[in-house]
Structure 1
Amino acid sequence: MAKPPAKKKNTSGRGQRDLTVKVKTARGRKMSSTLWLQRQLNDPYVQRAQNEGMRGRAAYKIMELDDKFRFLVPGARVVDLGCAPGGWLQVAVPRINALGTKSGKAVGRIIGLDLQEVEPVPGAEIHVLDFMESDADLLVKQWLDGPADVVMSDMAASASGHKQTDHNRIMALCEAAAELAFDVLTPGGTFVAKVLAGGAEGDLQKRLKQNFTKVVNVKPPASRSDSSEKFVVATGFRGES
């Protein structure tokens, strides 16, 4: 089970001081950039990702969600929407046994979709594709040789700096991802997607509750406490109504 990185205690009595890395604002650098860099340098999940060879701290979000809901099981057929840089693929491949390394366990398959080229991940099949294209669902089922058991998305639209605009954009992406899920999921399937709290998620929740037996909203420990992001996890797909 993924656990938040532990902070090492100083028991020697020496160096009892604030170990937070502080970054000075360089000439020509915006304060916002300085604060972002300082946050990155002091983020234990960023450090853990670097140490463990993961492509980003977001990998731990899907680890924690799967530890709780157990949808990435051996033999599962998975679609990762907006898969760049590949951290979620890295997590999913061993859990669904995509490489067949777990003896006696079913071998899963995972398809990653993105608008840009993504560095290969062993065990994952990655395609450059806009999932909003009209034939995307047909292509996905063709590549998987059938329907999917899981559709997951960590997508976020480019930030505009305007909170409500950014919220509306990410909700539009999530709604489009849900529409694809309705087209490609097998009965009993799971949909996982990032959303932002902000008042426009009601319609999505209503649609999901019509089509899944259980819908919950979760903020995994790896999600920054100062972020409005959360994840919707819809399980038990029963077909679009």
Structure 2
Amino acid sequence: MSDKDMYYNKAKQQGYRARSAYKLQQLDETAGLLGDGDTVVDLGAAPGGWMQVAAERVGPTGTVVGVDRQNISDLDDPEATVEYVRGDITEDWTREEIRSVVGADDDRPVDVVVSDMAPNMSGEYDLDHARSVHLARQAFDVATELLGPGGDLAVKVFDGRDLADLEADIDEEFEYVRQIRPDASRDSSSELYLVAKNFLTAPVRPGDTLEVEITDTGEEGDGIARVDGFTLFVPDAEEGQSYRVTVDDVKPRFGFAEIVE
């Protein structure tokens, strides 16, 4: 039996709407995307297989928002908090509707954005690759608008010449990004998923040089500076002094910098 038949039959037996449900399961098991109580936005969600997996894994205290141009039938899961947005993510109205549904304007950020979107296939490899990159960038844009500090992104893209640039752009906004090819993907497919972990909302990036004032001292003795509310730890810095520093590393909620001699 081919992998296609195996996952198709397994989905039918286990009540999933699409064999692609197992891709999200495998992405989650590999990268730890979905947690209890998370708010998840699923882009290109129809027919709802990824929504089913997400709803199972975030539990009754979590929320799953499915977005697609097509209608998505209600999930048969009375415990899950599930919302639906019908629209095209390239349109401002759709993005505003997503923000409204998840309460992004009320400081309730999204924890995870996932996208299994794929273009209508032309059969011309370079064109299909370019279209997949365009859709992936749309998902990336939505993620940067909605994710809270430390949030995650998983987005499908076809392998090809523009992949490296896309991966580099995503990597700038997250702590790290990696490529994952789930076993549930067809052997003949060029699809892979870029999984980006720990969204960075910091006002600084590694390599930045700036003037800071040390306003506090941490438990390890490092000086603490605040940059637009973001915490920078500066070794060998004294409280009450100002320094010129270079940022070495940035995490979702804090960073590290060294004094410039």
Q: Where on the TM-score scale, by shorter chain, does this alignment land: which range?
A: 0.7 to 0.9
Q: Alignment RMSD, CA only? A: 1.6
Q: How many residues align?
A: 195
| Runs of 5+ consecutive residues of structure 1 not aligned to the other structure | 1-19, 21-38, 101-106
> CA offsets, 1:94-126, max 9 Å, x none?
1001xx2xxxxxx11111000011111133211
What letter matches 2:73 in structure 1? E
Partner of 2:65: 111
Structure 1 runs of 4+ with >4 Å offset: none
How do 1:1-241 residues align onto structure 2 when only pairs under 5 Å count? 43-97=5-59, 100=60, 107-121=61-75, 122=77, 123=80, 124-145=82-103, 146-239=108-201
Give the % identical residues.
36
How far residue 188 of structure 1 moved from its aligned partner, in angstroms, is: 0.3
> CA offsets, 1:39-93, max 9 Å, x none?
68x6211110111111111000000110112221111011000100100001010
**With structure 2 as the length reference, what TM-score do the two structures score?**
0.71
**With structure 1 as the length reference, what TM-score do the two structures score?**
0.77
| Runs of 5+ consecutive residues of structure 2 not aligned to the other structure | 206-261
Question: Using the alignment, how far apart are the partners of 2:52 and 2:92 within structure 1?
Answer: 28
What secondary structure, in the 3-state scheme, does the structure 2 residue paired with 1:79 have? strand
Q: Is the 8 A contact 2:41 2:64 kept in 1?
A: yes
Structure (1 or 2) with the greater strand fraction: 2
How far residue 203 of structure 1 moved from its aligned partner, in angstroms, is: 2.0
Q: Is the 8 A contact 1:137 1:184 kept in 2?
A: no
| CA radius of gyration, larger in | 2
* Higher-RCO chain (CA-CA 8 Å, sequence separation at least 6): 1
How far residue 134 of structure 1 moved from its aligned partner, in angstroms, is: 2.0
Q: Is the 8 A contact 2:85 2:98 kept in 1?
A: no
Q: Is the 8 A contact 1:61 1:223 kept in 2?
A: yes
